[in-house]
Amino acid sequence: MTYYWLKAGHIIFMVFWMAGLFMLPRQMLYLHSATPGSPEAAEWDRRMGLLRKMILTPSLIVVWVLGLALAYTIGAFSQGWFHAKLLLVLALTGYHGWMVSQARRMIDGQRPLTERQLRLWGEFPAFILALVVVLVVVKPF
């Protein structure tokens, strides 16, 4: 039963993490059009702080812990699909960290990314999600 509870928890927190990764670029888009130092910018700073502390960081940690426990349980470390999945999830984790650092620069009043770049980067998690789910459900190699 442990395997099924691990997988259930893994999928639940994966959904929370993905929801957070979909929301962050959109909050950054709203902040982008706010005047630095304005009450509106301060409000988006508060909202992004809540998103990071309540959803993004906790779910990132739980997805990794339960994912590695699952991998240990089913002996996935020697399987090709898992190697490819791990690479994609490392890229997604890197994206998470990079976007949080860009958000911090925006809160300081900088605008390191254009609105167009924010929209394009906002699609990255969905692209990775599709690849990861195919890898872990179909296990093509």
Shorter beta-carbon distance to ligand HEM: residue 87 or 120: 87
Length of the chain: 141
Query: Binding to ligand HEM by residue 67, rule CB under 6 A?
Result: yes
Interface size with ligand HEM, residues (CB under 6 A): 20
Q: Other CB atoms closer than 10 Å to residue 119's CB: what's the count? A: 13
* 9-27: b (≥16 Cβ within 10 Å) or e: bbeebbebbbebbebbbeb
Q: How far is the CB of 50 from ligand HEM (least distance, A)?
A: 22
Stretch that binds ligand HEM, among 30-38, 40-48, 65-73, 100-108 (CB under 6 A): 65-73
Query: Binding to ligand HEM by residue 10, rule CB under 6 A?
Result: yes
Among 42, 50, 74, 87, binds ligand HEM (CB under 6 A): 74
The answer to whether the beta carbons of residues 121 and 113 sit under 8 Å apart is: yes
